Amino acid sequence: MAQVGKTIPEFKAQAFHNGEFVEVTSESVKGKWGIFVFYPADFTFVCPTELEDMASHYAELQGLGVEVYSVSTDTHFSHKAWHDSSEAIGKIKFPMLGDQTGAITRGFDVMIEEDHMAHRGTFLVDPDGVIQVAHIHNGGIGRSAKDMVRNVKAAQYVRDNDGEVCPAAWEQGQATLTPSLDLVGKI
């Protein structure tokens, strides 16, 4: 079961990426930050708006050393067809993983078994393959890539600045906190 502080499950999948089919594995994603964006299905309604939003923030995320992986229980062939036929999905430059067996979706614990589709799950994974952020949304609630960019910056700051934590709504450049006995009851 995928939870904050746990290592991502082992997997191997075919993905559509930059006009080619490529293999992506749990080992190949390690070594850099990663965002896994699970969504119910290709050729749907809310999903393309979310993936287009993530695509619009992709260059910024790449600048932060982050790779994005979209995942659904569709095949990599379906991802290619969707990419080729949708203006919104055509903007995607990140790998689109096919998970037709549902193994990855189940491994991250976002499978809706009766529908064989994923919940809207978003996971931020550190370079060691450890989940640092996990968001799961109801099917009718679209996500914001801008929120995930803020989560990335906060997670990277905390990783690089041992002993410091980021308060609510923290933005890069703002003050952080250093938990100590002196702060107890003063916030």
| pLDDT tier, 184 (very low <50, low <70, confident <90, very high otherwise) | confident
The set of catalytic residues is 47
56-74 residue pLDDT tens: 999 999 999 999 999 999 9
Regarding the domain with residue range 12-183, which homologous superfamily does it belong to in the CATH classification? Glutaredoxin (3.40.30.10)
Angle, CA of 66, 109 and 141, to the nearest 5°? 70
The encoded tokens of residue 14 equal: 């075919």
pLDDT average, residue stretch 157-177: 94
* Whether residue 1 has pLDDT greater than 90: no
Each domain of the chain, given as residue ranges in start order, spans 12-183
- Enter the pTM of the model: 0.95
* Whether residue 102 has pLDDT greater than 80: yes
Give the chain's radius of gyration (CA, Å).
17
> Distance between CA atoms of 49 and 156, rounded to whole angstroms?
27
128-165 residue pLDDT tens: 999 999 999 998 999 999 999 999 999 999 999 999 99
pLDDT value, residue 183: 81
> Distance between CA atoms of 34 and 59, rounded to whole angstroms?
14
Strand ranges, E, within 73-184: 96-98, 111-112, 117-118, 120-125, 131-137
Mean pLDDT of the chain: 96
Could you give the residue ranges of the DSSP H alpha helices within the chain?
46-56, 58-63, 76-85, 103-107, 145-160
Torsion angle (degrees, nearest 10) of CA 155, 109, 39, 147: -20
